[in-house]
Amino acid sequence: NFARGELRAVRSATLTAPNLFGTVQVTKLATLGALASEKDLVVEFDDAEVLSRLEEKQLELDQIDEQVKKAQADLAIRDNQDQVELLRARYGVRRAELEVKRNELISAIDAKKNQLTLEESKRRLLQLESDIKSRREQAQAELAVLREKTNKAKLELNREKQRLAQVKLLAPMSGLVAVKQNRSTVMMFGMSLPDIREGDQVQPGMPVADILALS
């Protein structure tokens, strides 16, 4: 007895083109009917654009890191200067308070001067404390912006690393390679679709090859 039909593998796996956020061009492709062992390279795509973006993102991240280090160093220096200025201002208030305590022993004019000096010293101290608080808040806000930029740059860098890891499609199991047709090819009426070949450009998510289990 004879029967017409189609012979198919019980188990098979389809390898699809990744989204490289740019051109997806086949640079290496196993031949039709080739035997591939598990984790063998079956398809490889051009990684030039991904590598270029990866280098740009790494450079951008390095630059932001330098900006963060400079901002932190500037903040530390400014804090040290502010502490010195605060000590001087507090000492000025303390000295003016001591002079006011002597007011009973000096003339009314000098006593008035001492009182005015004390008030001015206190005003300067309050103004300095307010300025220091404002400077710190501004510096912390600028650091927060830079840290947000750092997180964004790291996220984008990791995305490019993930894309780079997708340029090589490995066989998930041992089996025969069945190359798919290039459905992104513009065809004339009546022509059949050609198989995907090295050098072809394909669309992200498009099936490129099947691995047919020998069992």
Q: What is the pLDDT of residues 31-69, one digit of tens each?
A: 999 999 999 999 999 999 999 999 999 999 999 999 999
Calculate Rg over the CA atoms of the chain.
37
**pLDDT(8) > 70:** no
Please state, in angstroms and rounded to a whole number, the distance separating the CA atoms of residues 202 and 182: 7
Which of 2-6, 27-31, 76-80, 148-152 has the least mean pLDDT?
Answer: 2-6
156 and 36 Cβ atoms separated by less than 8 Å: no
Which pLDDT belongs to residue 18?
97
Specify the pTM. 0.74
**pLDDT(180) > 90:** yes
> What would the mean pLDDT of 169-181 be, rounded to a whole number?
95
148 and 168 Cβ atoms separated by less than 8 Å: no
**pLDDT(83) > 80:** yes
Please state, in angstroms and rounded to a whole number, the distance separating the CA atoms of residues 138 and 74: 12
Tokens found for residue 121: 């010293």
Please state, in angstroms and rounded to a whole number, the distance separating the CA atoms of residues 168 and 41: 7
Closest to 179 (Cα-Cα) out of 209, 206, 205, 204? 209
Four-residue CA torsion sign, 191, 197, 201, 206: positive
